[in-house]
Amino acid sequence: MKIIITLFIAIFLTNCSGSSMKPIDFKNQKPRLIIEDYLSGNIKAWGILENRSGKVTRQFSADLNGKWDGEVLILDEKFNWSDGEIQKRKWQITKLDEHNYEGIADDVVGKAKGYSYGPAFKFEYVLLVPVKGKKIKITFDDWIFMQDDRVAINRAKMTKFGFKVAELTVIFVKD
């Protein structure tokens, strides 16, 4: 029994330790991703959702449209899932300073926290995800990496109680 408890604690601590990668690790890299500039205008996206075992369970395309007013980025997202589901989300992302952001959306619990350095943007938030008629809270560790002035890659790790439940990979292409 002692071995089982020790093993459980070791697994739990490993899963809860979070990523050792930090946004500031990218501060001197190029190109610089200024999220309010990149997400302004029209963007097309394509992505896959993988379960915790790495099996692709869903695919989607998305249309994003952002408007920056000098303080707040309003970002309208429309996801077209391969199973016919359509999801919409409207973000309001406020720039606090050169590296820090806050965001809100109807299905986000509290405020999202964003961090921008070099080509990387990290967004941390809890999203209410519909599952079998209920909404469950899923924590997102969401990273966007700018590749050039048109292309960015997004990787999001989704967790519940510190355990990975899914991962999302998205390719953004700016019109």
Contact 154, 146 (CB under 8 A): no
pTM equals 0.86
Q: For 4-43, how does the pLDDT look when each residue is reduced to its tens digit (9 = 90+)?
A: 444 344 444 444 445 588 999 999 999 999 999 999 999 9
Collapsed DSSP state (helix, strand, coil) of residue 19:
coil
**Does position 167 have pLDDT exceeding 80, yes or no?**
yes
* Residue 139 phi, psi (nearest 5): -90, 130
pLDDT in tens, 79-89: 999 999 999 99
Q: How far apart are CA 127 and CA 56, in angstroms?
A: 20
- Cα–Cα dist 78/88, whole Å: 5
Which of 112, 105, 62, 58 is closest to 87 using CA atoms?
62
- The single residue listed with the structure tokens 């406020």 is 94
Domains, the chain, with CATH or none:
21-174 (2.40.128.20)
